[in-house]
A and B are shown apart, each in its own frame.
Chain A
């Protein structure tokens, strides 16, 4: 039955895909004891996605080829794989993207292999169990009233289809293989959805700061790059959670103030990110403090110097792809700062890099 054209991997890379209407796939086959790529040729069909090709292989060449899939419409998040090295959904990846290229399909590498393209993702489900669920007030009257703005805001997080591609690409989980210190981007999204639900009463800052390990993320944004639902995981879930955690853990007055905030009031209506304008005491600043600016995009910055006139010289965090770098110095008023996290290293903004840059600056400048 197995009529697959099997050759050694890389034998004719150059001729590759779409020759004579054929697509060439190199599919990982194996189990925990070992394995490697196997080459298959599949007839090309217009509009074909990688999952179609895998199905063709399954039906015609390798009945026992293991892969997960369900909806085939990018709604269930089952068919996650690494396609030419990039974590993607097989059902959403068109084969005609790969002109004259072989298509390499491999299982997600962050999770233990079960067989072929199937990995053991059960760790994710265990993590999920540790997150306290939606907890409305006991006396909340049903049916609920909510504002569309609140639903819209939460909608982004609720779009998550649990494909675990973000978990796969997260280098805390992947490279360091340290699943004990960080829940991973998926669960930051889940916690963000719960924390920002207008009727939820639970606070998860302790969990975030502790077991969930929000500080482990150093904002390389790889997760949001691979998200098939285009959730801005880092920008809209992780960073606000870092901010909230820092405030709750290090700014007791703000924490009390938030508890006193009237419920149902959408956050940010008073112009501050967390609805706390007017409740904060004057902030003090020191060199190295991590601050958040009010200007467009609310960027992170670090304080380079506190000037005599009370103004600050700050260095703004910029991303070049996945590379962090500090741009500055820029002179601002203290009122341009929304949050001061103090000299934190655990918000993930490399302090070593910053110190180097600051030193370079002072050497050149003086």
Chain B
């Protein structure tokens, strides 16, 4: 059995973050369904918030797992989270709403948990890692990957049904009017961009904050900052799929959220630093 190098001192216990993250992610995902109920697209930004809450939960899971010194680097944890998550998420989008209530987020949750659990069993027993947190962490991470990709899908296209991610549009080309699925979230390959936007945002915070000076609130604030940064990019992409006004709302929420979390993160960094110097840009020297 490997030895745990760092212990979590103070801060919110992981169990609380997990439950809070899971519940708020699901609530935000279901709030995007207001788009269908009200026949608008202005609630797409809830998809971005779902993605951010999932990432906050996921980055703390990475902290729990990587505290054991798995010897493979922190980024690998983010990669397996989204690698297993994208597989569960794509299948889950196929499940149609039951009695008007969308089932896709719940199916994604269950499917990703099953995949993650089996991957955890494989690494812990077949590969003999013998890390106590492994099975639970990989299960959580697959769920985080699946739900945050679903959040990206809702943010960019306004929904998360398979038909909504792969619509066939008639476009004007040099051969005349051609119906094609090229201009969609899946067919256009935007899912690959969302994949990496999420994968980088989930692994960066612990990679950047780890060490003896690790503080929980600082790391989670950095996660929120990375999440809003990814949301800005995704909100730009959403201009291609949803109405301009709705995309503007998403962009505004993303920029305001990013500015707030960035400021907070700088404040927390200053709080935890031994000392800091506000270095100005190189001044223009006159007459030298």
A binds B: no
